[in-house]
Structure formats: C-alpha cells, structure tokens
A and B are shown apart, each in its own frame.
Chain A
C-alpha cells in the first residue's frame, strides 16, 4: 500500500515536471511576456549585487510623514530619509538650535507637515540633480533640499494660501516653482461667515522665483483667482514654456459636503497662467502690494545654521485687471492630475470622475485665444470653448484617472485609482496599448524624468495608497508601497514591490550619475563659520553668561574635549556647541546627555551643532557619543556635574590627566 502511494506520488511528480517543461517551452516559443504575475527573470532585473550601485535615485514624498525618502532603483533599497517639514530626533532635525528656525512659520514653530510633490530642478527641460523642491500642504510652505548634502536648505512659507497642494511643478529652467492653493480662503484673511464663500473666498496662485546659482526662493507674484480649489499643476515646456497649468475642482464654489456639492458640474477648469505675461505686468507696475505675514527660512552650509526672516508683503496680480494673464480651459469632471507631455504640445488632464482622459492642445489654445473663442468668464477670467482647446481623448481607458507620466518615446502612462491599474497609451493617436494592475489603488506614478522634456523611460513606479494583504501584517496600520515596472519593452512588466515611508504621493527619479559625483563627503573644518565653532581641542572652553552656560566642545575618535565639566547649576540653560573635528568620509559622531528633553545631536565631520540642556536636578549626569564611531566608541563618554542653584561649585572642565581649566 505504502509502496503504491509512493509510486503514485512519483508519477504525479513526473507529470508535474513534464507540465512545467511544456509550459516553459511554450513561453519561450511565444516570447510573450507574462501579464500580472512575475516572469522568471524579474528578480535578476532588480538585483543589485552587494557593493554595486543602483542606476537611479528615486525621491519619494513621505506624505503625512512630512519627509522625503531617497531610494535606489531598481533595487528599491531605502538610502536616506531626508527630514523636511517634520522634526526628526534621529538627526536632531528641529531639535538642535541650528535647524529649529527652518520650521518657523507665521504661526510659530511647527513640527510637522504633509509633503506631497517633490520636483527635481531642471535645466533646459532636463533634471539637473542640483535641488529637489517639495510642498508642505497643511501650513502652506515650499522647501528646497540641496542634493549635494541631501539636507533641507530652505523653507518658504506661502501667504494667502489655504493649503499648498498644486506645487511645486517647476518650469523648464527652474525659473519658478509654483504654489497654488488647494483651499480658497478670504484674502487677506478675515473673520467672515463661511457661507459667504462665493463672495469672499479667493484662490491664490503663487509664482516663486528661484535664484539660478544659489537656489534661493522668493515670491515674485501671486495671481488672485476666483474661489476654486486648485489641485495640481504642470508647467509648460518647449513651445508651451512660459505657461503653467493648474487643475481645479469645485467650480460650483461650495463650502460644505464637497463630495456631492463639488461633483455636480459636467466640467471644471484648468487655469492656464501666462507667467511671461505676468512678468510684463509686474514690470509695468500692475501688481498690488498686499500686506502678508510669512517666514523665509534659509540654512547655511557655512554657519551650519538656519535663519528665519519675517516677510511683510507680497505682490498680487488681479486677472480682471491683467487681460491675457489667465484663461480657463473647461475639463471634464473634477480634473486632478495635469501633465504636459515632453513635446510641450499636449496638456493631459485626468478628470477623476470621468471615464476618459482629456488632452488639451497647446497650439489650439493659442489659436482659440487669438480667435476669442470664449464661452463667458468667471470674475473676468475668460473661459475658452471646450471644443476649441480639446486636442484628443483617450476613450474609456479605465476608472478614476489621476496622473500621467511619459517615457520619451511617445507613450503616456496614466494611473487609475478606482480600477487600480496603470494604462499605457499613445500620445496623439490616443489608443490604449497596455494595462497592468497595481496592488492596490495607485495614486501618483513616476518615470525617472517622466515629467520633464527628457524622460529616462526604463521604469515606472506605482505609488499605491493601499496594500491590504501584500505584506506581512503589522496590526491595523499597514505599510504603503511602491511597485516597480519595467517599461523598456512593449508591455509593462511588474518587477518589485517595496514599502515606503508615510504615504507616498508624487516621486521623482534621476540617473544616479547626475547626483553621485557631486555628493559631499564631509564639511571642511577650515570653512566652518558657526559662531560657536571650536576649531581645535585647544579652543575648547566653558563660558558662563548669567544662567546661560556655553560649552565649546569638540569630538574626535574617541573622546570629547572636555569630557568632564563641573559647575553647572539647577536652573541653568546649558548650550552644548559640539564641533566634530573629523575630516574623513562617514565619521559622524552623536551627542546625548541624560535628561535632555529634546533629542540627540548627529554631527557630520566639520560641522557644529548645539543642544540645549536644562538640568532640573542636582547630580552627575553622563554624556556620550550615540553614533558608533570607532573601536573605542563605547569609551567616548563624559560627565556633567550639576550643583544646586546658588551653590559655589566653580566652573571647570578637563580631559584626561590635564589640569582642569577654570
């Protein structure tokens, strides 16, 4: 009996092997890619051998984490979480004295935001690897991250905005990053009845000029639009360079139960802003100075410190007084994503409640403006006739189109939230070529350079809102995820799933070679202009100024100088200004002191950072290096003695057998 069952199972096994062989040879004969399921060589396409580098950097927005995560593609390996709008105790970001000013706003210090859309700087319509910008949605802000340091270099608050969502979507030479408000609000802000929406609420579209060498941002002007909800944006390229297109919903101008009330009109609008025209109006003195309160925060790599400056006014252009500045393009059903194709000819709009994808034609738009093919206006902004601007329609490609990226070979890739898929279609012929499911509910998608004039169309990354059963469960809160598809063949091929931080909205990708050679290894100590730098161990000291005590401390493998300090008192405010004297690649040191109510310091070679410590109790408290730096890292420690308030303990400090200094 036993023997028989063995024979039977052997037979079954043989049959299965034969079947597999037959199937695999069929596959070879057809040369057809598999749909949905992974094909056999997917693993090798994402395998980056130990010690090898990824081909692309991907910068994923962290969504409600407020940060940006840098990944390698195709491996999906997380390289760094760059703190932007949210504090990060791991790096001391927002906790040390140097970075606190970056998170300052007109509402005071804010430790969090919701970061949605990263935008790599571009030159001649191509990503250049200098900076990446990202919007802060909740308390309207724009941030610039320096890609030589992967650190936040600047945060600019956007006044007259109710939520910075249609942003940054920069222009082809990074002339401007834009910042359109998602929520219209009274401008200037005032105490009015919410039901006076139609009368009092306006939507500001801000154009933030970027200084070409330093990257410094400055609000050049705002366009005061009617009370629509501006959703996303895309700046023109090539022939359409000089224009920026903003989608909007709520043309009904409702202020409650928007899911119903803002979904009634057949068409909403894309606002086309001619920013070159705006520059002319600005020169002609047509802009009004509106009082405004907003903060401009800039970090310096020389002082290793950020400064926060209060700004008091902003220049505003009013469309009814500036003919030719803005036009409205009717677009079916609450358009969400708007994406100008690499040729600059088509403006692809995804009506998220529409079954179709609508592409407006830029040349047709110019013609319609010339012919005055208008269909009325809203608050003096002309509405162009839908038929006069329509360039083409992708008929019923799926449900819930959101965003479109391009591969530079004439193909477009649109994400469909409701039908949870990516649809590949041809620009110009509007035919659907391929579709692949996503797991699940894709929001944005990203092709490296896919929003620029020169896409690097090798992969598309799906940024999904829901993962359900795709990963090991982690309680009620599950990870969100990215999915990588190869797009270098005719058919898209799913290669890899990987988790993301926060909730990924948009992302950007770029050839690693555009960033890697410029990546800073460490800061030169000789160029450190921090006001509290301690350039050598000989300069270490402790200075009391009333209740404030400034400790000028150094760190080097494997000790602090000084490492023993006496003479602190309860009630003191102690500033540990710690300078990392190392001048080598990858030798950061950390600094932590017991009872500190903020965080650690994580100090890069050549950098100075400051931790404030307010000892509440007398005693002797250890301090130590938190970043495993060397064979004697564990010995990198010291003591701070705290005496009662008003005691006579002298201030003194030392290292090793040296005589204490006092």
Chain B
C-alpha cells in the first residue's frame, strides 16, 4: 500500500462532470503452476480500458461472459486490485488510498450483485444485513439504527416487519431488494450494478429495473449497469459500452450505437438479439460468429476480434487488422468505436433491425420496453405528474410470503 501511496501524482486532469474516470485500467490474473507456483502467464481480464462515467448517468456495459465486464465493475470500486492504470473517483485516485481512506471512500460507492442467493449472508437476519453498513461506518445506533433499517426496507419496497427474517425465507426478487437496501444504507453516489437482473425471473426483472430507475431519480445516483442483454441495456442506459476480450470496442449513446454500430462485433451481438417482429426478423441480415472467444491468456495480435470478424473476411483479410490494435476513434459526437474499418461497418446493414420507429402495440414486449424507455429522464426535475403518481403507488411485493411460509415450498433433501 505504501508503494502506491508514494507514487507521484499523475498529470491527470479530471473533469468535474465525471464521477468516475477509468484510465488505461488493466486487471491481470496470474496463472501459477508447478510445485514452485511460478507464474506461467496471466489472464488479461481487463487489458487497457479508458472511459468515464458522468454524474447521474446510467452507463451500460455489455459483452459476452468472460470478457471482463464484471472485473471492470469490481476494479472501479477497488474490490479487485488493478494490475495497471488508474481509477479516479470524484478526482481521487483510488489506487493511492490507504486502507482507512479507502474504507471511508466505500461510503460513496457500492455494488449490487448478480446472484441474489449468494450475496446475502445466510446466517444473518435481514435487519443485521442492512444494518451492517451502518455499524461499519458508525452511521446510526439504537433506535435510530432500527428506524433507518425500516426506512431502507420501505425504500426498496419491502415490509419493515421483515427485519427478523433470514434470507432463505425470501424470493429472488425480494432478496435482490435486500441487496439494494444494503447498498443504499451508506447513501452512495455511484453504484456498480453487476448483472442485477440476469438471475431473476423475467416477471421480476422489470420490477427490479423499475426500482433501480426510481431510486436513481429520487437519490440522484449514478449506475454502471453491467449486463449481457443488449435489449435491456438499450432501454435504460444513457450510454452503452461494448466489451470484447478485456477491451471496450464501442461506446456511445444507445440510439446511435444500436442503429449505426461502428464495430463488427456490436453488429454480431445485435444480430443475436431476437426481434419480436417476424417481418423485420426475416428481413434483417444476421451474422453468426464462428468459434469461441479466444483465450484471454494469449489474445490475438492486432485487433482482438479479427479471428472471428465477418468484416475482416469480407474485406479480404486486410493486414492492419492482424498487426495494429485499433484505438477508440470518434465516429460522430460521443459515439466511438475501435475498428480500422468502422466506416465500412456502418455502411452495411448487418444485425440491425429497423423496427424502432414503429408504433408500439400494447401487450407486446415492445410495449413493456417502451415503458421502461420512458423511465429515462435526463433532468430529474422533468418527472411529470403521472410518473410521480405511479411512483407513489405501492411497489408490489411478490405474493407468497405473507400468508404462508415459503420454506415449505423449497425442497430440503
């Protein structure tokens, strides 16, 4: 710790509009083998990533499993020690903080986990789970603490009378709410949502998304929303970043990134998203990626995607794809992509389905997603009356726990 603390201050100028700035972040995991545990190589989970998170925005981060998106999220709040690079939180280099300073900083940044079963200690009651952050930072004691826990549970739509119960007595969605309440206990400004809905039932996903959207508006939070589902991210994010093998290959506002993607990988991902319209589905051109993601131990030379790139094949295997690693370059406004041939990629029609400007039909998944899209409000003051009326309505707690004991339904043997 002292070694990093003594590092001379970098000539890094932070922009006050950004809450987090990630500068050339690298997280490598050493592979040790043999009796002497010598380092045989390393898994380059995150390999030189630079991006910013603006105050109040939702930045979506998507990519296949194993591309390093969860590792970025954890490294951004220093749950993983970076191998190289810096993370600046509100202008402070997190890598330079000592243990005590880091513990204080943890009040300002939190994480919500993917697995609602694994992220709550099974031996603790809901009350002690939610009050652990309060104890740790000495935020409240005695009756004030009990009141605060009740307030937090109400905030996430759980009955405060649940404090004495244990996590195994709740459904997945309810557990995820407990995890959210725990994260909110320290009143953070920035929350890493590590695939918070991918382990939930589809019917519960919308509830938790709504909750996260409501909380952001109420509490002025900033989210890094990690997901592998492009369609969910599209409708909630202000900006979307696409990762492949430890690098960000494209980043930009969703309306640009989804309609004129500048990276062949983004187009390949988009063509894997089912389109709920048979006509559009039949008309659009899809690419199916061949093979597996290359090993992050030895990523391909040049552009990491060239081994699976359909555009590389179509353009006759240009040499610079194999030799030069493309940097993120601006395509238009905030839309940037890391491809030597992003202009060519944008000219094609691969993967994009043109159904977005059609009128939404009620009762279809489009209607549900359009409803979520309406959640995106740039200015918190712009919440209209109907919207806040809807917020005041009770958040529906899943049925099942009130009347009967859910443990009777869980198989025990």
Are A and B co-members of a single complex? Answer: no
List the interface of chain B (C-beta within 8 A of A): none
Residues of A within 8 A of B (CB): none
